[in-house]
Amino acid sequence: MRLALAEAERAARSGDVPVGAVVLDQGGELLAVGHNERELTGDPTAHAEVLAIRRAAERLGGWRLTDCTLVVTLEPCTMCAGAVVQSRVDRVVYGARDEKAGAAGSLWDVLRDRRLNHRPEVITGVLAEACAQQLTTFFRDR
Reported confidence tier of residue 142, pLDDT bands at 50, 70, 90: confident
Rg of the chain, C-alpha, whole Å: 14
Entry pTM: 0.97
Give the residues across from 94 on adjacent strands.
72
Strands, E, within the chain: which ranges? 20-24, 30-35, 69-74, 91-96, 121-123
Whether 49 is catalytic: yes
DSSP H or E run through 139: helix 128-141
Three-state secondary structure call for residue 13: helix
Point out the annotated binding site: 47, 77, 80
Tell me the C-alpha distance between 70 and 65, whole Å.
Answer: 10
Point out the annotated binding site for Zn(2+): 47, 77, 80
Q: What is the pLDDT of residues 23-75, one digit of tens each?
A: 999 999 999 999 999 999 999 999 999 999 999 999 999 999 999 999 999 99
The active-site residue, picked from 7, 37, 49, 75, is: 49
Strands 20-24 and 69-74 turn out to be antiparallel
